[in-house]
Structure 1
């Protein structure tokens, strides 16, 4: 898997843009929606005690495409990935973010290091027999009272499935339902598990986001976020 994503160091942006081009939306739209969701989650999960915000880790961050949208609200943001080439690109693009490459399955951090660890569209690249271990590693590096969050594609959304089908590095993806993800978090000893769907409407206007929030329990959005407390 590391070798696969190493080969997309320079072309990742274009590949993703091509995979979602049928929607008429740019990749930026999806990145902004994820950043907005994470910012809200930090408040709702009460992770704002430190004056500089929570220490946060993006697990499987790739080239750090999401980080320009997060760095202003998360000054203590870090990222890691098994693709060393992607990490080198991330360092070039986001010099204020701390990055590490690593060899799976062990994350390169001590126990209880972070307030929030999240993985965005990473789990479907992990082989299913390793899903439990992946979650437990995320749990290990988050402090008690901190939060683990998984953002994934909604396999019930036909447009999401089309985007995955069009994306060459998603060829072997195994999509997880939000119920499966929630069960993995629960089985790993995490508590207060909750899920929400998002990316339902093709606009970032505030009224549209309000509608999405009202419908977030229904499996309509292109993606979902499942989070839990350590």
Structure 2
């Protein structure tokens, strides 16, 4: 999806997203929250600061801001996106509690080694696959040595996920990718694969089974997954 397409959907994104994931029985906030819990959980394992500077790559309308600030309250977040309208909507909702940056032609407007970590929440399936290596190289460039990059994506092996993407207006040009393909794209970018976890196995109807998900992270059937890289 181009920046123009994101601009077109920015104002209606919340409603479209909520309708699209209704089959899960959850609100969008559920998906944003678990991602930030996962991100926070890796910081102490990697000796990364809880008061550091972190990047939300492809931040959209700012869905990750509230859970990020709730789980990592002492950190500073920078939201970057190709869509100026999405950034405007985000700032309208969240004010100056975070910093904002516009991405132009896949070039991040930051100095080398500026961030302790970064995350991208279901962004890469909107980026043409032939650009993934360049984008990952840029993310590697702006991370400090040992910095964490967590890339969350939809799992193309999950049939409900595939259906949701196919019926989603803002995913009309999306192309899903496997964790293996993402890892292959990271070769020669300066990033090292750290771990891959599969997430979101049970809809709200079976929420009582969700404690089992911690033991299923290895199973490539979850609705989403993350690949963690180190710079």
Q: Give the alignment's TM-score, normalised by structure 2.
A: 0.92
Where 1:140 maps in the other structure, the secondary structure is helix
2:54 maps to: 56
Report which stretch shifted further, 22-31 or 86-95. Answer: 22-31
Q: Distance in 2 between matches of 1:47 and 1:156?
A: 32
1:177 maps to: 178
Deviations, residues 158-178 of structure 1 (Å, cap 9, x unaligned):
011111012111111111101
**CA distance 1:130–1:177, change in 2 (3 Å):** same
TM superposition shift of 1:200: 1.1
1:84 maps to: 84
Deviations, residues 82-116 of structure 1 (Å, cap 9, x unaligned):
10010011111112011111212110101000010
Q: Distance in 2 between matches of 1:136 and 1:67?
A: 24
Q: Distance in 2 between matches of 1:38 and 1:202?
A: 21
Q: Distance in 2 between matches of 1:216 and 1:208?
A: 14
Structure 1: runs of 5 or more not aligned: none
**CA distance 1:185–1:45, change in 2 (3 Å):** farther
Q: Are the counterparts in 2 of residues 113 and 143 from structure 1 also a CA contact under 8 Å? A: yes
Q: Distance in 2 between matches of 1:186 and 1:62?
A: 27
TM superposition shift of 1:64: 0.4
Q: Are the counterparts in 2 of residues 121 and 151 from structure 1 also a CA contact under 8 Å? A: yes
Q: Are the counterparts in 1 of residues 153 and 226 from structure 2 also a CA contact under 8 Å? A: yes
1:163 maps to: 164
Instruction: Say how many residue pairs are matched.
Output: 227
TM superposition shift of 1:228: 1.2
1:224 maps to: 225
TM superposition shift of 1:32: 1.5
Structural RMSD (CA): 1.9
Where 1:3 maps in the other structure, the secondary structure is helix
**CA distance 1:5–1:110, change in 2 (3 Å):** same
Where 2:148 maps in the other structure, the secondary structure is strand
1:145 maps to: 146
Deviations, residues 191-211 of structure 1 (Å, cap 9, x unaligned):
2431001111235x9975542
2:93 maps to: 93
Where 1:17 maps in the other structure, the secondary structure is helix
Where 1:7 maps in the other structure, the secondary structure is helix
Where 2:21 maps in the other structure, the secondary structure is helix
Q: Are the counterparts in 2 of residues 6 and 86 from structure 1 also a CA contact under 8 Å? A: yes
